[in-house]
């Protein structure tokens, strides 16, 4: 059950703020009357404008066909509070269960895509397929983020960064080095 | 000045252990009598075997031509102990200074590529160009890691994860959820 959390839209070039640190994310998708969630750790920011994100979605995932057919998904950012749900999403198959129900996650309508948001997550990046030229060879999708929202607080939530072997690193502590940067590099 | 740290080779499919969490990395390169270092935060693991890593290297970087011509680089993993050097590498240009000298970093010969390692870093991934089909459109390089080494200790060093605006998140604390995984998912 989700609690009410204030979330605000952000300019699309701010997506890097959340994804460049490399967190594990939950990708939600829908096609016809099906919906699903998968975990994803293999992604990278690719451009500010248009706001592009590249990622690997293996064709062995139940989500693959839904994502391929719809050409849409939502990248949701979970915090450490959702560590168990993240593991459970990665360790079950949408072919057998509805992962929203199984994992106690709440689907909410997105603004610009048919795929649902996962309300319990800290941030949501609605994506439309931008380039599928490397999908066949590498399962590499390039997405354009067309809408982005994040919880207003906390400013730097604790996020999960997967290392394999069931172990996550936690990021959340901040090092501020703004005063060491050249102004044009900020 | 670097101190002696025991480093060991690793199987190439273990590269994800270090790069999937999304740390900022230092990319070293060489061409003819030049060498350089650049910071990079836009990268993703793409495959276990061959061990593939994709990344954005903007053509505005002084390293770009060296990397393009040599078809090689080393991805080096810095820890929080190198936060100031990471900032300084990102805020100077190899067209004007030798960044190894300017930032007090030590070049060491790599095993399989001409680009030097940065000895002070925790881990080193020697890369050979695997696929440049998206370089012209996105500055997106796909590398095959052909040799990988890491410091034996600490097992989980504190790494830097860039958010933009001069601010890094620090990862290092661990959450172990192995007992919640299905055996085949580990």
User: Where do the domains of chain B lie?
Assistant: 7-185
Judge contact between B32 and B127, C-beta under 8 A. no
Residues of B in contact with A42 (CB under 8 A): 20, 44-46
The C-alpha angle with vertex B97 and arms to B122 and B137, in degrees rounded to 5, equals 75
* From B163, B165, B181, residue closest to A87, measured CB to CB: B181
Cα(A114)–Cα(A30) distance, rounded to whole angstroms?
Answer: 7
- Look at residue B2 and tell me whether its pLDDT is greater than 80: no
B4 secondary structure, DSSP code: P
For residue A124, give every residue at least 6 positions away whose Cβ sits within 8 Å of its Cβ, in sequence order, or none: A7, A74, A75, A76, A77, A110, A117, A118, A147, A148, A149, A150
* From A20, A91, A168, residue closest to B164, measured CB to CB: A20
Q: What is the pLDDT of residue A186?
A: 87
Residue ranges for chain A with pLDDT beneath 50: none
A119 secondary structure, DSSP code: T
Cα(B185)–Cα(A164) distance, rounded to whole angstroms?
Answer: 9
- Look at residue B1 and tell me whether its pLDDT is greater than 70: no
Kindly determine whether residue A167 and residue B176, on different chains, have CB atoms separated by under 8 Å. Answer: yes
Pick the CATH number of A7-185 from 3.10.129.10, 1.10.3720.10, 1.10.20.140, 2.30.110.10: 2.30.110.10
Provide the shortest C-alpha distance from residue B114 to chain A (in Å).
27
ipTM of the complex: 0.96
Provide the shortest C-alpha distance from residue B157 to chain A (in Å).
10
Cα(A133)–Cα(A138) distance, rounded to whole angstroms?
Answer: 9
Segment B34-59, tens digit of pLDDT: 999 999 999 999 999 999 999 999 99
A3 secondary structure, DSSP code: P
Kindly determine whether residue A166 and residue B172, on different chains, have CB atoms separated by under 8 Å. Answer: no
* From B46, B167, B168, residue closest to A140, measured CB to CB: B46
Average pLDDT of every residue of chain B: 96
């Amino acid at each position: 059950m989700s609690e009410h959390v204030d979330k605000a839209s952000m300019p699309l070039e701010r997506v890097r703020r959340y994804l460049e640190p490399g967190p594990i994310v939950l990708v939600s998708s829908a096609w016809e009357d099906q919906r699903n969630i998968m975990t994803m750790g293999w992604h990278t920011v690719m451009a500010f404008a248009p706001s592009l994100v590249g990622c690997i979605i293996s064709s062995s995932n139940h989500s693959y066909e839904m994502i391929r057919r719809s050409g849409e998904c939502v990248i949701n950012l979970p915090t450490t509070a959702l560590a168990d749900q993240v593991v459970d999403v990665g360790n079950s198959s949408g072919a057998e269960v509805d992962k929203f129900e199984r994992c106690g996650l709440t689907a909410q309508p997105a603004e610009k895509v048919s795929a649902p948001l996962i309300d319990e997550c800290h941030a949501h990046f609605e994506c439309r397929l931008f380039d599928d030229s490397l999908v066949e060879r590498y399962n590499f999708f390039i997405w354009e983020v067309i809408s982005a929202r994040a919880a207003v607080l906390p400013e730097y939530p604790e996020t999960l960064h997967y290392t394999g072997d069931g172990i996550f690193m936690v990021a959340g502590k901040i090092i501020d080095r703004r005063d060491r940067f050249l102004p044009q590099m900020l």
